[in-house]
Amino acid sequence: MAKAKKGKMPAALKAYWDKKRKAAGGRKKVTNAAKTKVTRAAGRRETPAAKRKTSNAAKSRVGTLTAAKRKALPKSSFGLPGAKGAKAGKGKYPMPDAKHAALAKGRAKQMLNKGKLSKAEYGKIVSKANKKLGKKKGKKA
């Protein structure tokens, strides 16, 4: 194929895309999907639409805990409820449901390994989470 001038498409390639446009119903532009198929045929790497990451809005929002919901939770729903009295601190490790209880156990283990949580505090969180999850004392946490 002869080398085209800068900014001009080679005649063979132009004919190919014109054929694609005609097959696509006469639209002026060929969709990205058609171009992706062409690149795959040419042996180039592509990302299929099915494997692309979905946006956060498309993901399931079940089990999310908003700030308002967290404030409304009773102190008994936290792994570490916080201080008592007028200057009561916010609780840590909220467990309104089983999913959050399992997540709290994992996060508490991370903080214990980092040295940001004592073994006593970790034990409290794990025991509370196990109650939510319905696990017995004899089983490993």
Predicted local distance difference test score (pLDDT) of residue 52: 53
How many angstroms separate the CA atoms of 41 and 129, rounded?
53
Q: For the chain, give the percent of residues with pLDDT over 70.
A: 59
Choose between 61 and 105: higher pLDDT: 105
Choose between 24 and 102: higher pLDDT: 102
**Cα angle, residue 9 at apex, residues 8 and 14 outer, rounded to 5°:** 145
**Tokens read off for 47:** 């990302």
Which residue is listed with tokens 């062409």?
38
| Residues making up the chain, counted from first to last | 141
Residues 27, 37: contact at Cβ < 8 Å? no
Q: Is residue 40 over pLDDT 80?
A: no
CB neighbours of 9 closer than 8 A, spacing ≥ 6? 17
Three-state secondary-structure class, residue 79: strand
Predicted local distance difference test score (pLDDT) of residue 105: 93
pTM of the model: 0.51
Sign of the four-CA dihedral 111, 116, 120, 121:
negative
Three-state secondary-structure class, residue 94: strand
Residues 31, 25: contact at Cβ < 8 Å? no
The domains of the chain are located at: 11-44, 67-133
Predicted local distance difference test score (pLDDT) of residue 19: 83
Residues 79, 128: contact at Cβ < 8 Å? yes
